[in-house]
């Protein structure tokens, strides 16, 4: 038996603002950052977790992580692993820390980093990747591992167990299939708002050549510029000559693409406003972009505005444009209401804005019940490494489908992780297979030494600390 004996945090910041990576209508200067935590035991077992920010404020999250992680000191890990739902409740149950949420904001994303670190430790203790640990659980074990408070009006524990049991007999078949073909991905890297037209066209051509057929573009700063940029992307993705050698156009009317506004090659364009509009403004602005045929508008308005999203979805439905949101939905209750209000066509969980795997499981179960596909957000450092595990759990054990799902892929910063995610020649995520990678989020010590703020070698040598003053 092992006991949790300590923890350590690191404020790690990467200077992505220097190249314009991550820019959108709301967030014009982003330094992708990791509030990183390691949980130590009296054995060799260590669990790693993180949550994502875009720069200043990362130090506040690190401070909150320390307060949350303290709750796990001297806890026996096998007792925690035996009931991960109960462990999640304990992590979030400090009344004074809860008061400054509750279950939202800095304290919640800090709790997500700690819960993810505990799950990473659990998977490593069982010598399985995180996704495999969860899909090998019984339905009862998965439900017991889930954060269930406040969602029983949307799905009961009994309903969840029944749903999981209905998929249990065919889990092995789905696992074999996804290991063979990979999990569907879409690319955001070509569509950042700070990129030139030439860079957008080049990166889009490269993405098509790499096998991708779903592409996302940032919008919301300038309607005419958005139309121009959208037409550039469409001119590339709708042209068969840009497809990889030997790849035939996909059928736009196939079950995987029907209703997604796919072009003649079967390629799909999505647009993302990052919360920049009021509700009436969102409706009119997106209508004006109908010409570039987006599948959905992501985050058209404030992330907590459930009824606003419902109104936008209703108004855009006749125009064949859906609504997606979730990367800033701060807990399972917001997702519950979005689903109950028929406010979204696509559910976009974030691996560490939600408070870790246990809360993510709650949203996966609800989305499956409501029949809404889950397409996780991964536009940030470490998020791609995280979310492939979550999508595999959803496909193999929960929803049983990946036909219409696509998982965001951003080609940034993977080299800083011991077990980076990877994409195959068909533009799909490869399945993590290493027995020692856990939740795939362990960072190289050299990367921490270089990019820890403010004393990492990069920040000291380049004298860029003043940008955070």
Looking at the annotation, which residues are catalytic? 218, 377
Closest of 408, 287, 289, 294 to residue 347, by C-alpha: 408
Q: How far apart are CA 216 and CA 298, in angstroms?
A: 9
Closest of 158, 359, 279 to residue 367, by C-alpha: 359
Q: What are phi and psi of 297, to 5 degrees?
A: -105, 125
Q: Show the beta-strand stretches assigned E in 54-196.
A: 183-187
Q: How far apart are CA 137 and CA 143, in angstroms?
A: 10
Which residues share a beta bridge with 217?
Answer: 271
Q: Are residues 381 and 412 in contact, defined by beta-carbon separation less than 8 angstroms?
A: yes
Residues 101, 107, 108, 109, CA torsion sign: positive
Q: Are residues 290 and 319 in contact, defined by beta-carbon separation less than 8 angstroms?
A: yes
Q: Please state whether beta strands 214-218 and 4-13 pair in parallel, antiparallel, or not at all (unpaired).
A: unpaired
CB contact burial 230-245 (16+ within 10 A = b; e otherwise): bebbbebbbeeebbee
Secondary structure of residue 299 in the 3-state scheme = coil
Q: How far apart are CA 421 and CA 406, in angstroms?
A: 15
Closest of 30, 5, 115, 11 to residue 412, by C-alpha: 30
3-state helix, strand, coil in the chain (%, to 5): 45, 15, 40
Alpha-helix residue ranges (DSSP H) falling in 126-264:
130-135, 139-144, 157-168, 171-181, 197-209, 223-237
Q: How far apart are CA 384 and CA 429, in angstroms?
A: 9
Q: How far apart are CA 73 and CA 357, in angstroms?
A: 20
Q: Are residues 182 and 428 in contact, defined by beta-carbon separation less than 8 angstroms?
A: yes
Q: How many CB atoms lie within 10 A of CB 423?
A: 20
């Amino acid at each position: 038996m092992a006991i949790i004996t300590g923890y350590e945090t690191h404020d790690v910041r990467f200077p992505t603002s220097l190249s314009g990576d991550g820019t959108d209508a709301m967030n014009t200067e982003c330094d992708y950052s990791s509030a990183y935590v390691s949980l130590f035991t009296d054995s060799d077992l260590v669990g790693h977790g993180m949550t994502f920010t875009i720069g200043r404020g990362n130090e506040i999250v690190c401070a909150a992580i320390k307060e949350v992680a303290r709750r796990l000191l001297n806890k026996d890990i096998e007792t925690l692993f035996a009931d991960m739902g109960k462990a999640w409740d304990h992590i979030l149950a400090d009344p004074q820390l809860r008061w400054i949420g509750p279950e939202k904001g800095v304290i919640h994303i800090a709790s997500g980093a700690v819960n993810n670190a505990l799950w990473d430790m659990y998977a490593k203790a069982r010598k399985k990747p995180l996704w495999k640990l969860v899909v090998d659980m019984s339905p009862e074990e998965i439900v017991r591992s889930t954060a269930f408070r406040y969602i029983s009006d949307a799905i009961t524990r009994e309903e969840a167990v029944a749903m999981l049991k209905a998929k249990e007999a065919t889990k092995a078949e789905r696992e074999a299939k996804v290991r063979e073909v990979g999990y569907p991905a879409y690319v955001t890297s070509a569509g950042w708002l700070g990129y030139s037209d030439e860079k957008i066209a080049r990166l889009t051509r490269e993405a098509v050549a790499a096998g991708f057929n779903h592409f996302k573009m940032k919008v919301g700063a300038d309607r005419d510029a958005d139309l121009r940029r959208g037409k550039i992307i469409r001119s590339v993705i709708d042209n068969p000559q840009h497809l990889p050698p030997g790849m035939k156009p996909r059928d736009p009317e196939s079950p995987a693409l029907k209703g997604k506004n796919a072009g003649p090659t079967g390629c799909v364009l999505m647009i993302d406003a990052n919360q920049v509009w009021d509700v009436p403004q969102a409706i009119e602005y997106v209508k004006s972009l109908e010409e570039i045929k987006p599948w959905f508008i992501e985050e058209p308005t404030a992330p907590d505005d459930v009824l606003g999203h419902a109104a936008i979805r209703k108004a855009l439905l006749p125009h064949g444009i859906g609504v997606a949101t979730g990367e800033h939905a701060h807990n399972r209750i917001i997702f519950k209401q979005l689903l109950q209000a028929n406010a979204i066509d696509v559910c976009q969980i974030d691996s560490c804005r939600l408070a870790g795997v246990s809360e993510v499981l709650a949203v996966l179960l609800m989305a499956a019940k409501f029949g809404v596909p889950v397409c996780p957000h991964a536009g940030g450092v470490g998020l791609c490494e995280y979310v492939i595990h979550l999508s595999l759990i959803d496909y193999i054990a929960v929803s049983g489908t990946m036909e219409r799902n696509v998982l965001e892929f951003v080609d940034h910063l993977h080299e800083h992780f011991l077990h980076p995610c990877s994409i195959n020649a068909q533009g799909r995520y490869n399945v993590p297979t290493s027995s020692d990678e856990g939740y795939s989020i362990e960072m190289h010590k050299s990367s921490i030494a270089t990019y820890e703020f403010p004393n990492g070698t990069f920040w000291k040598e380049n004298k860029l600390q003043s940008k955070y003053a």
